[in-house]
């Protein structure tokens, strides 16, 4: 029986891509470069700031300019966390249903806490989440199972009593290695070259409310 539902943040719980894309294009504008189409940026969002800088500027992480650009990008994003960011359609209803069933829910993300915490607070979710594990909460991050197991501990559940939903392969690897049930959020930031059918999850969903069928 599932007692705890855990979510990846970007591309699963919240649709953060519009603000991340806006921030990347704002940085490109500062550097006198053309903006990128939203459709090109969206699939990269789940892979974090480094991947977005690589996409926007065609630089590898060992470039002299890379860290300066990444730091500026994160600065812009930090000041625009929830201008357009919302929960995915149906997610608020899902959270209410989870809570009404006497279950709890939490977040396990690779996003650093200095971005995760204000974003979750601005979405008015901080007090509702039983656990919020960021990419720097402990030494390890996904796909390592340690963050998942910490979330289980904070939720008061065993790993086999937890369901983890994510939109990237590392999410499924982390959940499976922790001993959880896993679902792929196909409504998230999955690129054309991704192969979720090969990730060996327990299932996949096209809409958040489909999670209720697994509960």
Q: What residue ranges do the domains of the chain occupy?
A: 4-15+85-214, 17-78
Residues β-bridged to residue 148: none
Query: Residue 56: what pLDDT?
Result: 96
pLDDT tens digits, one per residue of 39-69:
999 999 988 999 999 999 998 888 889 999 9
Band the pLDDT of 22: cuts 50, 70, 90. Answer: very high
Question: Under CATH, which architecture does the 4-15+85-214 domain have?
Answer: 3-Layer(aba) Sandwich (3.40)
Q: Mean per-residue pLDDT for 153-160? A: 98
| Inter-residue contact 161 to 3 (CB < 8 Å) | yes
Euclidean distance between CA atoms 215 and 209, whole angstroms: 11
Q: Is 8 in the active site? A: yes
DSSP state of 2: -
Distance CA 114, CA 163 (A): 26
Percent of the chain past pLDDT 70, that is, above it, reads 100
Over residues 62-88, the mean pLDDT reads: 96
| φ/ψ bin of 189: left (φ > 0), alpha (ψ from -120 to 50), beta (otherwise) | beta
> What is the per-residue pLDDT for 61?
86
- pLDDT bracket for residue 204 (50, 70, 90): very high
Q: Is the pLDDT of residue 35 over 90?
A: yes
Is the pLDDT at 104 greater than 90? The verdict is yes
> Which pLDDT does position 88 carry in this prediction?
98
Find the catalytic residue in 8, 10, 19, 171.
8
């Amino acid at each position: 029986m599932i007692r705890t539902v855990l979510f990846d943040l970007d591309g699963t719980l919240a649709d953060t891509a519009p603000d991340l894309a806006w921030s990347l294009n704002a940085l490109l504008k500062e550097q006198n470069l053309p903006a990128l189409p939203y459709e090109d940026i969206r699939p990269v969002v789940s892979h974090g700031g480094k991947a977005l800088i690589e996409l926007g500027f065609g630089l590898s992480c060992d470039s002299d300019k890379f860290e300066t650009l990444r730091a500026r990008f994160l600065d812009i994003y930090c000041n625009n966390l929830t201008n357009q960011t919302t929960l995915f359609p149906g997610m608020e209803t899902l959270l209410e249903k989870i809570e009404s069933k006497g279950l709890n829910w939490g977040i396990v993300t690779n996003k650093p806490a200095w971005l995760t915490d204000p974003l979750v607070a601005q979405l008015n979710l901080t007090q509702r989440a039983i656990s919020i594990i960021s990419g720097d909460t402990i030494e390890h991050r996904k796909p390592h199972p340690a963050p998942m197991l910490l979330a289980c501990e904070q939720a008061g559940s065993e790993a086999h009593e937890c369901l983890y939903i994510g939109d990237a392969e590392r999410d499924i690897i982390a959940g499976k290695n922790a001993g959880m049930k896993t679902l792929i959020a196909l409504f998230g930031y999955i690129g054309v070259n991704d192969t979720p059918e090969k990730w060996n999850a327990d299932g996949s969903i096209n809409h958040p409310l489909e999670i209720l069928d697994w509960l």
